[in-house]
Structure 1
Amino acid sequence: MSSKTKQAQKLLLFRLSGARQFGIGTLKIREILPFMRLNKLPHSHHAVIGTATFRGSAVPVIDMAAAVGGTPLSREERDKASIIITDIQRQEIGFLVRGVEKIIETDWKQVMPPPKALGSSAFITGLLDVEGDIIQLLDVELLLAMVYPQSLVPEEVSLTDVQSETLKALNILLVDDSQVARKQLSDALDSKAISYQVTSNGDQALQILLRDDELGRPIDILVSDIEMPGLDGYELTFNVRDHGSLKQPYVILHTSLNSEMSLSYANQVGANEALTKFDARELLQAMLRGAEQAR
């Protein structure tokens, strides 16, 4: 196995207003369309401007500028705008943007975490310097949670007493750069009184893995996002598998991408499983499979 098996990361750059550029991973994107006539969607969030017909399905379209607190595009601006059709967290969503720029290839190690001064409400997961321009990577999961707050309501999952006690005995580490995803993961375990550790990036996760192993309480289950600034989920898994003295955890890579390609790369770097966000039942069942292996 080689670290070169990890997937090349590409970003679509686009504008919402002015010259500032934003980015979104191309693996999330199904298609880019010119603005089209939309069907009205009554009683929806103010940023949801209608539905587009995409391959026979009605896809809600969100004015991304309005969703992040900016000025919505005017009717005249919409005529020159683009709709980015995405596949995120098991649903197709269209995002209206002022203009699509280009696709670039990048290394997630070059992505910097956003300044803490931005606070928890910033729709940014990272910053990337591209030829002197600072590209802001949008936290699409947070954006969707603001537009569809019902998506954050924890799903009720039933476990037997034996299953609950089995998971409570494990040392579990959760890793995700999205605050929404971290909340979903945490809620799933909090609802069952299952303890865990959580961090927002792969570099910190690797340090926790090494520290806990040295202290004699190695991590049993590692649940990690794939796309993260710094050490992404693929490389984190590779580094864990490549560390000869480290007691090996059961690795579950967790991604908002509904993509067979991303899941196949997860297997190549040594992950035990790869799941599409977010299904609490699937996650807990995967952890129970990991518990069986840890015995």
Structure 2
Amino acid sequence: MSKLMQSIDARTQLAGTNRLEVLLFSLGKNVTSGREEVFGINVFKVREVMHIPEITQAPDMPKAVEGMVSLRGSMVPVINLSEFCNLQAEEQPNILMITEYNKHVQGFLVHAVDTIERLNWDDVKAPPSMITSQMSGLVTAVSELQDKRLVMIMDVEKILAETAGFYEDQNIYSGIEPHKGRSSITVLFADDSSVARSQIKRTLDRMGILHIGVRNGAEAWDKLNELAEKSDADGVMITDTVNFILTDVEMPEMDGYVLTRKIKSDDRFKDIPVVMHSSLTAEANQCLGKGVGADAYVPKFEPKELAATLEGLLY
């Protein structure tokens, strides 16, 4: 386990290259299909991999939450991923992955961890409808490995929303008021997580800001060019059509770093403020965002902070 984590620690310099590295893991051999599916998680989000310690049970736990483990003085919730995904495995999980998403720390029970694979985001695609249906929308992206296996990248934010309600507390929107300055403000936002897109929409709706949503950087770039062509045909500036761009970092086909760099290097778009919106909240990630030209970097699932950031850029 320690060698694996050393390898993870040494491989966090890929942001801005449209590449990522994922730790591959298995949820066991499916008793129905007989297959062992391969899943992946960005190494940036893995803090530790260990054999399962003693899990403390608690009453009224949400679906698939096994209990809590004590980790250096903190109690960390443990989620059984195969149970959450309704995958009937032949054996019990025996590995615990400790992960961090947007300052939330949790453990995922898995059956095995494999290798670290380097992927190009342009080879990572939105999942076909069959996989989306089979996995109840829990897979945000897929990619074929060199050995022809298919790796599925989960929407961990959706898992955390459904198991712990981290992102569904209505109080997180309290205090967000309609914008009282400029009218007809439009934000183009890109995010591959359905949970994140829903929260972004609610935040912008409360501010009275119009929005156009897409699922990844490639779609955002295509939409931006489409809007620029229409604006040119109408005899208006693109900056009068799109006032802000809000982008996630990790997205299939084109990540947020590459999208931001393309926007800021294009004379048509360079004056449109770009706000990066990510669960990768480490200082290194924020520096990378600013290095490619982002005007601000906001943690995901902090609607009030997002609203305050947008308000600040409006003046």
C-alpha change, 1:181 and 1:54, in structure 2 (3 Å) is same
Q: CA deviation at 1:20?
A: 1.3
Q: CA deviation at 1:150?
A: 6.0
- Choose from 13, 33, 36 the match for 2:24: 13
Equivalent residue for 1:97? 110
Equivalent residue for 2:63? 46
C-alpha change, 1:105 and 1:167, in structure 2 (3 Å) is farther
Q: CA deviation at 1:56?
A: 1.6
C-alpha change, 1:138 and 1:270, in structure 2 (3 Å) is same
Q: Secondary structure at the match of 1:39?
A: coil
Equivalent residue for 2:72? 55
Q: CA deviation at 1:160?
A: 5.4
Q: TM-score, normalised by structure 2?
A: 0.84
Q: Deviation per CA, 1:164-196, whole angstroms, max 9, x where unpaired?
A: 133653221111001111001111122333221
Q: Given residue 65 of structure 1, which amino acid in structure 2 is its aligned partner?
A: S
Give unpaired runs (5+ residues) of structure 2.
Answer: 1-13, 30-35
Greater Cα shift, 24-33 or 168-177: 168-177
Equivalent residue for 1:183? 198
Q: What is the alpha-carbon distance in structure 2 between the residues aligned to residue 273 and residue 150 of structure 1?
A: 24
Equivalent residue for 2:227? 212
Q: What is the alpha-carbon distance in structure 2 between the residues aligned to residue 144 and residue 72 of structure 1?
A: 22
- Choose from 281, 290, 305 the match for 1:258: 281
Q: What is the alpha-carbon distance in structure 2 between the residues aligned to residue 167 and residue 187 of structure 1?
A: 19
Q: What is the alpha-carbon distance in structure 1 between the residues aligned to residue 202 and residue 194 of structure 2?
A: 12
Q: What is the alpha-carbon distance in structure 2 between the residues aligned to residue 87 and residue 150 of structure 1?
A: 13
Asked whether the 8 Å contact 1:226–1:232 carries over to 2, the reply is: yes
Q: CA deviation at 1:68?
A: 1.3
Asked whether the 8 Å contact 2:102–2:279 carries over to 1, the reply is: yes
Asked whether the 8 Å contact 1:167–1:194 carries over to 2, the reply is: no
Q: What is the alpha-carbon distance in structure 1 between the residues aligned to residue 191 and residue 63 of structure 2?
A: 29
Percent identity of equivalent pairs: 28
Q: What is the alpha-carbon distance in structure 2 between the residues aligned to residue 287 and residue 279 of structure 1?
A: 12
C-alpha change, 1:36 and 1:5, in structure 2 (3 Å) is closer
Q: Deviation per CA, 1:31-81, whole angstroms, max 9, x where unpaired?
A: 11111111112211131111111122110000011111223786xx34xx1
Q: How many residues align?
A: 283
Q: What is the alpha-carbon distance in structure 2 between the residues aligned to residue 256 and residue 267 of structure 1?
A: 16
Q: Secondary structure at the match of 2:160?
A: helix
Equivalent residue for 2:33? none
Q: Deviation per CA, 1:200-220, whole angstroms, max 9, x where unpaired?
A: 111111122223233133421
Q: TM-score, normalised by structure 1?
A: 0.89
Kindly report the root-mean-square deviation, in angstroms, between the aligned alpha carbons of the 2 structures: 2.1
Q: Secondary structure at the match of 2:314?
A: helix
Equivalent residue for 2:142? 127
Q: Given residue 212 of structure 2, which amino acid in structure 1 is its aligned partner?
A: Q
Q: What is the alpha-carbon distance in structure 2 between the residues aligned to residue 66 and residue 178 of structure 1?
A: 21
Q: What is the alpha-carbon distance in structure 1 between the residues aligned to residue 182 and residue 210 of structure 2?
A: 9
Asked whether the 8 Å contact 1:40–1:50 carries over to 2, the reply is: yes
Greater Cα shift, 196-205 or 254-263: 254-263
Q: CA deviation at 1:5?
A: 7.0
Q: Given residue 97 of structure 2, which amino acid in structure 1 is its aligned partner?
A: I
